[in-house]
């Protein structure tokens, strides 16, 4: 089967690899109907995250179940499914508390690679959610978004405790930040301030529910957020980048007692304990437990209440994955969908 392999920074190829097989009785094999490229895939693409050898890529997916292991109970061959980017057993105390992405038996789907025609899904019952009915094309794109970017943006908004009466600031105008805006709106936030200096992203941000745009960054960005919030700072801030600057910007833009939900994969970030101590903010984040939110997100999508699939602004045939990486790297695309 065809799969995306990254050979090194900027070097993405489609190659032929063996079709995966059931390894454990809790596995399923799915035929991937669409995959996509994640902002986090750009870290190795840009050489910031080092890879020692050619690596399979991708962790977002929707597809049709082709085969299930002997212990799989809830998922059947032929089901159309969405799964999280982290496979989880669904039964440990961590999963039951809603932190499936930190399941004690977690398997990152990135280590398997879903930018491929087929994928093995560990812990199929704990990981996959069946979609009933026949999704439209728009719904299908939205379901793919649910697999990571929507689920991650949603978690960020929940971790930031976005809700009625709250002012939410969003640091990062990539797909996750944009869908964090959508999530904050759905959770009832009163005011949503998107930090973005790109006209196209600003337009998407407004379409997802942003009420204000702040173009300044760093200290100037923080000052502008304070200015917009009576000097207090935001109640809730979503950090969807993962750099030192973005994390500091998020913490400093948040009022004491407020909440920072951080989901940008942390790259070289260190948090000064004393600054955190005196900030009085709540910090919570990490790899999003997308599986917690999937049933609700699927319902919102299948009833046309939300349309996160519009975050995909470039759709390419799977064989043109390399162009998809280039487009995202050069910021010509926010989020690339790869279809078979």
43 is a site residue for a second copy (CB under 8 A): no
Task: Indicate the helix (H) or strand (E) that contains 53.
Answer: none
Contact with a second copy (CB under 8 A) among 53, 164, 274, 303: 274
Instruction: Take residue 13 and report the two structure tokens written for it.
Output: 């190829």
The stretch among 13-21, 76-84, 205-213, 274-282 that binds a second copy (CB under 8 A) is 274-282
287 is a site residue for a second copy (CB under 8 A): yes
In the complex, least distance from residue 329 CB atom to a second copy, rounded to whole angstroms: 23
48 is a site residue for a second copy (CB under 8 A): no
Separation between Cα atoms, residue 38 and residue 36, nearest integer Å: 6
In the complex, least distance from residue 334 CB atom to a second copy, rounded to whole angstroms: 23
Residue in the block written with tokens 């996160």? 308
Contact with a second copy (CB under 8 A) among 32, 181, 250, 281: 281
Positive/negative CA dihedral, 124, 58, 82, 30 = negative
78 is a site residue for a second copy (CB under 8 A): no
DSSP secondary structure code for residue 56 in this structure: E
Backbone phi and psi for residue 235, each to the nearest 5 degrees, phi listed first: -75, -35
Contact with a second copy (CB under 8 A) among 1, 14, 55, 102: 102
Contact with a second copy (CB under 8 A) among 8, 9, 163, 286: 286
Quick one: 9 or 286, whose CB is closer to a second copy?
Answer: 286
Separation between Cα atoms, residue 163 and residue 305, nearest integer Å: 18
Q: SS3 of 198, please?
A: coil
Q: Contact, 233 vs 254, CB < 8 A? A: yes
Residue 212-241 contact track with a second copy, rule CB under 8 A, x = bound? ------------------xxx---------
Quick one: 62 or 156, whose CB is closer to a second copy?
Answer: 156
Separation between Cα atoms, residue 315 and residue 337, nearest integer Å: 5
* C-alpha to C-alpha distances, 196 to 111, 169, 183, nearest whole angstrom: 32, 11, 17
CA-closest candidate to residue 2, choices 246, 331, 321:
321
Tell me which residues in 244-263 interact with a second copy (CB under 8 A): 244, 247, 255-257, 262
Q: Contact, 241 vs 172, CB < 8 A? A: yes
104 is a site residue for a second copy (CB under 8 A): yes
Quick one: 135 or 180, whose CB is closer to a second copy?
Answer: 180
Q: Binding residues for a second copy, per CB under 8 A?
A: 93-94, 97-99, 101-102, 104, 230-232, 242, 244, 247, 255-257, 262, 265-274, 276-287, 289
């Amino acid at each position: 089967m065809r799969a995306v392999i990254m050979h090194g920074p900027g070097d993405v190829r489609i190659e032929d690899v063996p079709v995966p097989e059931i390894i454990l009785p809790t596995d399923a094999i799915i035929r991937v109907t669409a995959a996509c490229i994640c902002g986090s895939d750009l870290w190795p693409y840009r050489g910031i995250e080092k890879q020692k050898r050619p690596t399979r890529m991708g962790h977002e997916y929707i597809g049709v179940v082709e085969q299930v292991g002997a212990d799989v109970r809830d998922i059947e061959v032929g089901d159309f499914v969405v799964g999280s980017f982290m496979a989880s057993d669904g039964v440990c105390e961590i999963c039951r508390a809603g932190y499936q992405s930190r399941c004690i038996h977690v398997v990152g789907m990135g280590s398997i690679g879903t930018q491929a025609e087929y994928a093995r899904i560990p812990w199929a019952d704990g990981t996959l959610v069946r979609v009933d009915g026949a999704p439209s094309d728009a719904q299908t794109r939205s379901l793919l978004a649910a697999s990571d970017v929507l689920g991650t943006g949603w978690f960020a908004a929940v971790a930031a405790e976005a809700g009625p009466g709250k002012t939410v600031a969003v640091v990062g105008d990539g797909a996750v930040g944009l869908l964090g805006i959508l999530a904050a709106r759905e959770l009832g936030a009163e005011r949503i301030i998107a930090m973005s200096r790109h006209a196209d992203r600003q337009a998407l941000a407004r379409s997802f529910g942003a009420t204000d745009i702040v173009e300044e960054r760093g200290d100037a960005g923080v000052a502008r957020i304070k200015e917009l919030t009576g000097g207090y700072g935001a109640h809730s801030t979503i950090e969807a980048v993962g750099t030192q600057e973005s994390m500091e910007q998020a913490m400093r833009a948040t009022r004491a007692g407020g909440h920072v939900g951080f989901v940008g994969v942390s790259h070289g970030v260190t948090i000064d304990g004393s600054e955190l101590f005196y900030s009085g903010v709540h910090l919570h984040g990490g790899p999003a437990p997308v599986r917690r939110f999937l049933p609700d997100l699927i319902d919102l999508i299948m009833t046309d209440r939300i349309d996160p699939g519009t975050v995909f602004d470039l759709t390419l045939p799977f064989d043109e994955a390399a162009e998809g990486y280039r487009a995202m790297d050069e910021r010509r695309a926010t989020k690339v969908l790869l279809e078979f």
